[in-house]
Amino acid sequence: MSKYLVNLKINNIPVSVEEGTTILEAASRINFRIPTLCDHPDLNVAGNCRVCVVEVKGAKLLAAACATPVSEGMEVFTNSEKVRTSRKHIIELLLSEHNSDCTKCFKNGNCELQTLSSEYRIGDHVFLDLVKPKDKIQDISSPSIVKDDSKCIRCQRCVRTCTDLQAVSALAVINKGDQQKISTFLGKPLNEVVCTNCGQCVNRCPTGALTERSYIDEVWDAIYDPNKFVVVETAPAIRVALAEDLGFDPGLRVTGKLVSALKKIGFSKVLDTDFAADLTIIEEGTELLTRLKRALVDNDENIALPLMTSCSPAWIKFQEHIFPDLLNNLSSCKSPQQMFGALSKTYYADKINIKAQDMVVVSIMPCTAKKFEANRPEMRDSGYQDVDYILTTRELAMMIRQAGIDFEKLEDEKYDSILGESTGAAVIFGATGGVMEAALRTAYEIVTGNEVPFTNLNITPVRGMEGVREATIKIKNVKPEWSFLEGVDLNVAVAHGLANAKILMEKVQSGEANYHFIEVMGCPGGCLGGGGQPIPTSLEIRKKRAEAIYAEDEGMPLRKSHDNPEVVRLYKEFLGEANSHKAHDLLHTHYKPRKRY
Amino acid sequence: MSKTDQLVQKLVRKHGKTRNSLMAVLQGVVQEERYLSEDAMIAVARELDLSAADVYGTASFYTFLDTIPRGKNIIRICKTITCHMKGKDEVLLALENMLKIKAGETTHDKMFTLLTVNCLGWCHKGPVMLVNDEVYTELTPQKAIEVIEEYSRK
Amino acid sequence: MDKQIKKVDIIFQMDEDCNLLDILDKALAQPADDIILDLIDSGLKGRGGAGFLTGLKWKFTKNEDSDVKYVICNADEGEPGTFKDREILDKVPEKVFIGMAICGYVVGAKEGYIYIRGEYNFLVKGLQKKLDNFNKHLKDRNLDFQIAIRSGSGAYVCGEESALFESMEGYRGEPRNKPPYPTVAGYNKKPTVINNVETLVYVTMISRLGVQKFKELGTKDSRGSKVFSVSGDTPIPGIYELELGMPLNQFVDEFADGDAKAVQVGGASGHCVPRKKFNDTIIGFEGIPTGGSMMIFNSTRSMYNVLHDYLEFFTEESCGQCTPCRVGCQQLLKGIEAVKRGEKPPSYLDDLKKLTTTMRIAAKCGLGQSVGNPFNSIVDNFREEIIY
């Protein structure tokens, strides 16, 4: 259905936009920026902060630009006297209920309220301070997320994120009037509710009300400790996003500079989670094929299919809370971060002659849930906590600035070896569909001896930003030992963002869907849109990061996980074969049902 | 299954398993149990496939959907302007003294909760109070005490 | 000059000769468009306070192309000083039902709901009984329309129509962005007529008495009569149906105790009129519109206390979602306290008055938009009482 064009004037400039366009969008088309706080490109319209109010000729009331559709002949003024006075009042009101200790705030310098306040030069507060002392007590119960109600401006972005994007609804608006606030169920601490630690709320919080739990100081302490050997690993999605937090446009790849910066910060070794991602593919691909064999050939009814990926800790916790009856479907593989940690303090420590207890493993993750994951009691298979500290992309950017490093001028450097080598298949773990694509590249080749039948290895049907994507791959010309798979249509599905995951899980539960393998990433866009990634986020930004990821893949000399020579060597020297006993001890885990309520 | 779970299931069967039934279900629980306990909110969330936080957030918006324990009888004294003008302070004080609690509190024996609320819609007959769903108008301290004494005897 | 205020008996009138159901039958025999034309011609405006032309509201809803439409009776009467809807539902509920049924017939709705505030729970049992009976009559007439009751649970803002829909849908009663308006997307996002209790009775009675009779009452901008809730410093508090367009001084002569210093017209969200303006204040849409609340204050009353009570009310009853209302109400309340205590200079009241302008034009719904009415009218007229 084609839409009508609507003609209107904004600040006396004529503009034609499609019917249904908001005043906010229409103004941006002609390069008038209207400030917003509650509005977010990923979320439904709220229209509650009111900073975007504009004057419409003939109307007695100002209109919220984010929530008001254009109409024919409308004349809008985005900066009239009335608008400016009201907008300033609204900012002042928000500041009056906001704990404005900006200099001490974790979000200092990346706070939308602070920016707005500075743009409008809100100096001395006209209004009375309304911050409630009890709201200044932060909730630090979660290893991932800190909630500070005294910084909250009630824009409800977090609630819409938690409910609409993530289908978790750990956060809700409670009470009304002056008592209204954002809360968990009965105000319980975050670590006692269904929160998956995904951090998507943190990504969208315009102020410092929701932030990651920061471990920067602990990491510096470890670096300064002469008795510690501090190893750092970097997740695939860091290299395509870090630059945004250091003043560059989205989509810039900075792998070499990232390595260089980490070395300059003082880490003993700079290694790559991508190595462990390749390893994951061998383990998980083998698990998939084994499950298929036991289900299809041995008719073993205890084998749960479809197999579901387990790299995303927010997705894991979601599943433990919401779909505990599907836990057997989850791959027993640990996430790459945790595989990396377990190997660092065993295989790697041996190789480089460092005692595991002297080793500190730091991982740079696009994720807040990873902080929780590393603290799970199951994640101590090396005999120690396998991964000690997790920093988000944002925290790393802060460390780079603290270290006085001129990021732009850095020369590219290479990851240390071993545990630094990786393939293009590992890099694409950072994008939704990437684990699926990497697994298919390897599994198909194991079974048939041939490369996947897609041009340039790019399995495009599982790529993209569609919430749920499906693909079917016909397996042909299999090797003799995989004859049961000859001619089989391998049905796969990919979901990203937990609301989409929920849709997919309901289909699996009802039996409506018949998949063999499902990839789920807890965050929109996959890890590149993770809760630890640079703020702001939007579909546009995530698409740019995805483009960068796929470009990185194409630029790699090796693009299939089983071609990673360090992985091959690891099996030869240490693990034996895929899914071996030793591999199970170190690289696999189990899940536990958690209460939904 | 607990009594609360049974009650919630009964209410959901009566009003339907949809979000539109939420208010009616919550009201039904409050009718029986005087307030929404943690268990009750969880039961409602489970039956209507909502998150517990969502149920809590909705309930806490409404003054009559209490989420903290309440006594067997809930006294709500109107505090809005005309009742104020006609002497609600004296009525409140009399009941506070009688029940030995402050507004917002519940007696030790859990018989009474004393609350002040916004306009009850009897401005021509203030001061006024609700005891549970019953309305008492044109109160004096003495009259209020008599009403509550009557409830103590029930 | 006629100093006598004109009392009217339409709403509560119990017409011996007329079976109420005959009114319904008469309406059902008329083409829907004729009923709309009559309503528009009568000039009947919504009696909840906002004053939109009822006939137009119906027309817009009728014109919407939708299989599902609703008629909702707004009985979430929560405005301090207003208690007429309770009386109407208690005394003449059938007239409300009939108004709803006529509306259902006209706009093509099959379901009607009465949303009644939780504070009136004691009414529900009796009302339900009468409603069951009425629904039977509707079935007997093969009118595909049934009415049900939905209860609120103590939230003033749910009287705002879109907040009321949210509440009926099981959500927090937070007003929606407009557009879309209820006639396009109301309850369950379907076209909905939502009318105040009293408005629906007038619909019934216009059908009974004819448009002319109704138009004879009131003024050009304020046709008909209105039920007033009279409270405060008056020897005769209660409910009165009066002709619209009366000057306030006549009202005061009739109802006050001889010592009135101010009348709050329209409830907490209305305007405070001081004695010196009684003579040139008209009660009606051309002057000060009202949902019916008339609170009289005599010279013993502190207008600071009055304003403080109102602001406390709004601070608590704001839904809290939009900044101007949530924070603005708190600032006004704490602001007058600070001025009273001398912590802010008297000139701070002028800063707060400017704030009310922002609240009036930038708040999301009528609640926040109208808090400035009592604030400004009391601060302007009784400034010394606020400061000292």
Clarify whether residues C83 and C114 are in a common domain. yes
For A36-95, what is each residue's pLDDT tens digit?
999 999 999 999 999 999 999 999 999 999 999 999 999 999 999 999 999 999 999 999
**Under DSSP, is residue C104 helix (H, G, I), strand (E, B) or coil?**
helix
Res. A507 pLDDT band, cuts 50 70 90: very high
Does residue B67 lie within any of the structural domains?
Answer: no
Single residue among C279, C298, C317 that ends a domain in this structure: C298
For chain A, give the mean pLDDT.
Answer: 96
Range scoring the smallest mean pLDDT among A582-586, C221-225, C226-230: C221-225
The 10 Å CB-count burial string (b at 16+, else e) for C40-68 is bebbbbbbbbebebbbebbbbbbebebee
Does residue C91 lie within any of the structural domains?
Answer: yes
Query: Which pLDDT belongs to residue A542?
Result: 98
> Going along C119-224, which residue ranges are E strands?
146-151, 192-196
Single residue among C149, C180, C215 that ends a domain in this structure: C215
Please tell me the distance from the alpha carbon of residue A430 to that of residue A426, in angstroms, as a whole number.
8
The C residues from 262 to 301 touching B (CB cutoff 8 Å) are 268, 293, 295, 297, 301
Res. C7 pLDDT band, cuts 50 70 90: confident
Query: Which pLDDT belongs to residue A2?
Result: 59
Taking the alpha carbons at both ends of chain C, their separation in whole angstroms is 41
Single residue among C298, C328, C354 that ends a domain in this structure: C298
Query: Which pLDDT belongs to residue C290?
Result: 84
Query: Which pLDDT belongs to residue B8?
Result: 98
Query: Which percentage of chain A shows pLDDT scores above 90?
Result: 97
Q: Chains with ≥3 Cβ pairs under 8 A against C?
A: A, B
Q: Which of A156, A158, A163, A169 to mutate to test the interface with B (most CBs of B within 10 A)?
A: A169
Does residue B101 lie within any of the structural domains?
Answer: yes
Chain B to chain C, count of Cβ pairs less than 8 Å apart? 122
Clarify whether residues B84 and B144 are in a common domain. yes
> How close, in Å, is residue B23 to chain A by CA atoms?
15
Neighbours of A581 (CB within 10 A): 10
- C170·B23 Cβ contact <8 A: yes
Name the residue of chain C whose CA is nearest to A48's CA.
C322
Does residue B37 lie within any of the structural domains?
Answer: yes
For B128-147, what is each residue's pLDDT tens digit?
999 999 999 999 999 999 99
A331 part of the active site: yes
> How close, in Å, is residue B7 to chain C by CA atoms?
19
For A247-280, what is each residue's pLDDT tens digit?
999 999 999 999 999 999 999 999 999 999 999 9
Q: Which of B36, B117, B119 to mutate to test the interface with C (most CBs of C within 10 A)?
A: B119
Clarify whether residues B29 and B95 are in a common domain. no
Clarify whether residues B79 and B109 are in a common domain. yes
C214, C189, C226: which is closest to C46 by C-alpha? C226
Clarify whether residues C186 and C258 are in a common domain. no
Residues of A with CB under 8 A from a CB of B: 163, 168-176, 183-186, 193-194, 596-597
Span C302-306, average pLDDT? 97
The full set of domains in chain A, from first to last, is 5-92 (3.10.20.740), 125-212 (3.30.70.20), 287-334+432-532+555-587 (3.40.950.10)
Does residue C7 lie within any of the structural domains?
Answer: no
Query: Which pLDDT belongs to residue C2?
Result: 45
Measured between beta carbons, the chain B residues lying within 8 angstroms of C316 are: 118
Q: Chains with ≥3 Cβ pairs under 8 A against A?
A: B, C
Span C5-19, average pLDDT? 81
Does residue B64 lie within any of the structural domains?
Answer: no
Helix or strand holding residue C253 (H, E): helix C248-255
Span A121-138, average pLDDT? 90
Does residue B47 lie within any of the structural domains?
Answer: yes
- B58·C171 Cβ contact <8 A: yes
Query: Which pLDDT belongs to residue A125?
Result: 67
For C145-167, what is each residue's pLDDT tens digit?
999 999 999 999 999 999 999 99
Residues of C with CB under 8 A from a CB of A: 155, 157, 172, 177, 179, 314-324, 326-331, 334-335, 338, 351, 354-355, 357-358, 360-364, 369
Clarify whether residues B43 and B78 are in a common domain. no
Clarify whether residues C164 and C131 are in a common domain. yes
- A130·C318 Cβ contact <8 A: no
The DSSP output letter for A198 is -
Res. C5 pLDDT band, cuts 50 70 90: confident
For chain B, give the mean pLDDT.
Answer: 97
> Going along chain C, which residue ranges are E strands?
70-75, 111-116, 146-151, 192-196, 225-232, 238-243, 246-247, 260-265, 271-274, 282-283, 293-298
Clarify whether residues B78 and B120 are in a common domain. yes
Clarify whether residues B55 and B78 are in a common domain. no
| pLDDT > 70? residue A519 | yes
A512 part of the active site: no
Does residue C13 lie within any of the structural domains?
Answer: no
Does residue B65 lie within any of the structural domains?
Answer: no
Clarify whether residues C142 and C272 are in a common domain. no
A377, A392, A332, A384: which is closest to A354 by C-alpha? A384
Res. B154 pLDDT band, cuts 50 70 90: confident
What's the domain count of chain C? 3
Query: Which percentage of chain C shows pLDDT scores above 90?
Result: 90
The DSSP output letter for A588 is B
Q: Which of C189, C312, C361, C367 to mutate to test the interface with A (most CBs of A within 10 A)?
A: C361
Query: Which pLDDT belongs to residue A513?
Result: 87
Please tell me the distance from the alpha carbon of residue C263 to that of residue A381, in angstroms, as a whole number.
77
- C122·B124 Cβ contact <8 A: no
For C284-296, what is each residue's pLDDT tens digit?
888 888 889 999 9
The DSSP output letter for C218 is B
A311 part of the active site: yes
Clarify whether residues C257 and C289 are in a common domain. yes
- B56·A169 Cβ contact <8 A: no
Joined together, the tokens standing for residue A133 give: 């002392």
Does residue C70 lie within any of the structural domains?
Answer: yes
A466 part of the active site: no
CATH number of the domain that residue C253 is part of: 3.10.20.600
Query: Which pLDDT belongs to residue C4?
Result: 63
A287 part of the active site: yes
The DSSP output letter for A37 is S
Query: Which pLDDT belongs to residue C68?
Result: 98
Catalytic residue among A212, A233, A244, A287: A287
The C residues from 170 to 209 touching B (CB cutoff 8 Å) are 170-173, 188
Span B101-122, average pLDDT? 97
Clarify whether residues C209 and C354 are in a common domain. no
Clarify whether residues C123 and C260 are in a common domain. no
Does residue B32 lie within any of the structural domains?
Answer: yes
Query: Which pLDDT belongs to residue C1?
Result: 38
Clarify whether residues C260 and C242 are in a common domain. yes
- C232·B123 Cβ contact <8 A: yes
What's the domain count of chain B? 2
A540 part of the active site: no
- C316·A177 Cβ contact <8 A: yes
Q: Chains with ≥3 Cβ pairs under 8 A against B?
A: A, C
Could you list the residue range(s) of the whole structural domain that residue B116 is in? 73-153
Does residue C101 lie within any of the structural domains?
Answer: yes
Joined together, the tokens standing for residue C351 give: 């800063």
Please tell me the distance from the alpha carbon of residue C359 to that of residue A442, in angstroms, as a whole number.
62
- B62·C293 Cβ contact <8 A: no
Clarify whether residues B122 and B54 are in a common domain. no
- B62·C313 Cβ contact <8 A: no
Query: Which pLDDT belongs to residue C91?
Result: 94
Main-chain dihedrals φ then ψ at residue A13, nearest 5 degrees: -100, 125
For chain C, give the mean pLDDT.
Answer: 95
Whether the CB of C210 is below 8 Å from some CB of chain B: the reply is no
Measured between beta carbons, the chain B residues lying within 8 angstroms of A498 are: none
Please tell me the distance from the alpha carbon of residue B45 to that of residue B47, in angstroms, as a whole number.
6
Clarify whether residues C154 and C92 are in a common domain. yes
CATH number of the domain that residue C312 is part of: 1.20.1440.230
Does residue C6 lie within any of the structural domains?
Answer: no
For A389-420, what is each residue's pLDDT tens digit?
999 999 999 999 999 999 999 999 999 999 99
Sign of CA dihedral A375, A379, A380, A386: negative
| pLDDT > 50? residue A376 | yes
Clarify whether residues B52 and B91 are in a common domain. no
A486 part of the active site: no
Clarify whether residues B53 and B85 are in a common domain. no
Res. A123 pLDDT band, cuts 50 70 90: confident
Catalytic residue among A107, A370, A371, A502: A370
Measured between beta carbons, the chain B residues lying within 8 angstroms of A184 are: 53
Could you list the residue range(s) of the whole structural domain that residue C209 is in? 20-215
A283 part of the active site: no
Q: ∠ CA(A139), CA(A145), CA(A150), 5° rounding? A: 45
Neighbours of A375 (CB within 10 A): 15
